[in-house]
C-alpha cells in the first residue's frame, strides 16, 4: 500500500471520527444540565447563566487552539502567559493608539509565540511540555519587565464589548461558537483539514506522502497562540483589568476541555465541536460544585477528576466488550 493511500485511509477514518467524537460529551452535558436544574436551579438563572456563557466562550476559544495542538501529539502550556501578554499589551496600547494598531501588535506577538513554540519543538526536537513551559516562563518574564507586575485597566470600549449581550446572548459566547465553527469546518470539510488530522494520526505516513508533518505542528501552535491571545484580551475586558494571574486558571482548564471533549492524547482524532461543548460542561460543573457549598479550591480537584474519568472512559474497549456480550453462544452450551 502506497503512502498516499495510507494517508487517504487515515483521512477517511479521522473524518468519520470527527462526526461522532462529540456524541458522548453532548449526552453528558445534557445530563449535567438536568441534574443542575434539579439540584441547584438558581445556577441556571438569567444572571448566572449569562456569566457562565461568557466564561465558557472564553474557554472555548482558548481550548479550540489547544485541540489542534493535541491533535498533533503535543501540548501548549504557554497558553496562560500568552493570554497575559496579549491582555497587558492591548490594554496598555489601546488608549494611546487606534484599536486597529493595538490588534495588529497583539496578533504579531501571538504569531511570534506560536512560531517560537513550533520551531523549538520541530527543529530542536524538544518535548512539547518542556518547550512550551520554557516559552511560558520567557513570556511571563517579558510581561513582568514591561508592566513591573502591575495590573492594567482595560479600555472602557473593550469592557463594554466583552459584556455586551444582544438578545440576552453574550457576544463572547457568540465569538466562541464562531471560532469553534470555523476550525470544525476546516477539519471536517476541507482537504487541508483532513490532511492535518492524518498528519497527527501518523507523522511517519504523512512524511512518506510528502505532507510535511512539522509544518502542521508549527501551524497548530500558531493557531493555539492566536486563540489564547484572543481569549486573553476578551477575559481582560470581562474583568476590566489585565493582571499577571489572568491566565493561571486556564493552564488546566484548556486541557480539561480538550480531553473531556473527546480528543485523544495520541493525536489525529477528536473534534473541536466536542471541545466547545466540553468548555460549557467544565464551567457548568464548576458552578454546580460551588453552588453545592464546596470551597473554591475544590475547582481544581473537580477538573482533575473529570480529566481522569474522561481519559479512563476512552481507554476502555467498549466496542470489544459490547461485541463479546452480544456474541452468539455455540449450540449446546448453556450458561
Q: Among residues 272, 282, 252, 196, which one has the least CA distance to residue 76?
A: 252
User: In this model, does residue 144 exceed pLDDT 80?
Assistant: yes
**pLDDT band per the 50, 70, 90 thresholds, residue 270:** confident
User: In this model, does residue 205 exceed pLDDT 90?
Assistant: no
**pLDDT band per the 50, 70, 90 thresholds, residue 254:** very high
Q: Which three cell numbers stand for residue 134?
A: 520554557
Give 241's strand partners: 153
pTM for this model (two decimals): 0.87
* Cα maximum dimension of the chain: 86
245 CB neighbour count, 10 Å cutoff: 9
Domain 3-313 has CATH 1.10.287: no
Give the pLDDT of residue 40.
87
Q: What is the mean pLDDT of residues 209-215?
A: 82
Give the pLDDT of residue 43.
85
Q: What is the mean pLDDT of residues 79-93?
A: 96
User: In this model, does residue 208 exceed pLDDT 80?
Assistant: no
**Where do the domains of the chain lie?**
3-313
> Please, are residues 79 and 229 in contact by the beta-carbon 8 Å criterion?
no
d(CA 57, CA 181): 12
Give the pLDDT of residue 20.
44
d(CA 246, CA 149): 12
Q: Which three cell numbers stand for residue 172?
A: 463572547
Taking all residues of the chain, what is their mean pLDDT, rounded to a whole number? 85
Amino acid at each position: 500500500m502506497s503512502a498516499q493511500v495510507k494517508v487517504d485511509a487515515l483521512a477517511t477514518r479521522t473524518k468519520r471520527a470527527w462526526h461522532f467524537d462529540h456524541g458522548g460529551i453532548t449526552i453528558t452535558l445534557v445530563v449535567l444540565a438536568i441534574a443542575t436544574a434539579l439540584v441547584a436551579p438558581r445556577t441556571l438563572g438569567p444572571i448566572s447563566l449569562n456569566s457562565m456563557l461568557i466564561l465558557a466562550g472564553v474557554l472555548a476559544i482558548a481550548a479550540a487552539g489547544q485541540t489542534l495542538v493535541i491533535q498533533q501529539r503535543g501540548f501548549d502550556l504557554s497558553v496562560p502567559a500568552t493570554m497575559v501578554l496579549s491582555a497587558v499589551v492591548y490594554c496598555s496600547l489601546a488608549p494611546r493608539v487606534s484599536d486597529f494598531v493595538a490588534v495588529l501588535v497583539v496578533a504579531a506577538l501571538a504569531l511570534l509565540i506560536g512560531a517560537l513554540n513550533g520551531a523549538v519543538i520541530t527543529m530542536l526536537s524538544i518535548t512539547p511540555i518542556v518547550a512550551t513551559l520554557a516559552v511560558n516562563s520567557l513570556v511571563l518574564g517579558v510581561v513582568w519587565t514591561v508592566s513591573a507586575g502591575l495590573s492594567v485597566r482595560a479600555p472602557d470600549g473593550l469592557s463594554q464589548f466583552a459584556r455586551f449581550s444582544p438578545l440576552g446572548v453574550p457576544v463572547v459566547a457568540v465569538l466562541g461558537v464562531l471560532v469553534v465553527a470555523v476550525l470544525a469546518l476546516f477539519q471536517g470539510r476541507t482537504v487541508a483539514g483532513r490532511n492535518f488530522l492524518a498528519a497527527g494520526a501518523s507523522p511517519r505516513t504523512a512524511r512518506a506522502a510528502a505532507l510535511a508533518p512539522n509544518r502542521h505542528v508549527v501551524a497548530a501552535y500558531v493557531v493555539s497562540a492566536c486563540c489564547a491571545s484572543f481569549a486573553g484580551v476578551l477575559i481582560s475586558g470581562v474583568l476590566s483589568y489585565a493582571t499577571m494571574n489572568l491566565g493561571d486558571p486556564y493552564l488546566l482548564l484548556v486541557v480539561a476541555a480538550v480531553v473531556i471533549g473527546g480528543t485523544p492524547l495520541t493525536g489525529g482524532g477528536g473534534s473541536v465541536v466536542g471541545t466547545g461543548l466540553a468548555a460549557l460542561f467544565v464551567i457548568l460543573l464548576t458552578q454546580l460544585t460551588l453552588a453545592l457549598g464546596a470551597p473554591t479550591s475544590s475547582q481544581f480537584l473537580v477538573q482533575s477528576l473529570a480529566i481522569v474519568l474522561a481519559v479512563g472512559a476512552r481507554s476502555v474497549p467498549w466496542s470489544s466488550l459490547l461485541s463479546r456480550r452480544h456474541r452468539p453462544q455455540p449450540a449446546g452450551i448453556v450458561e
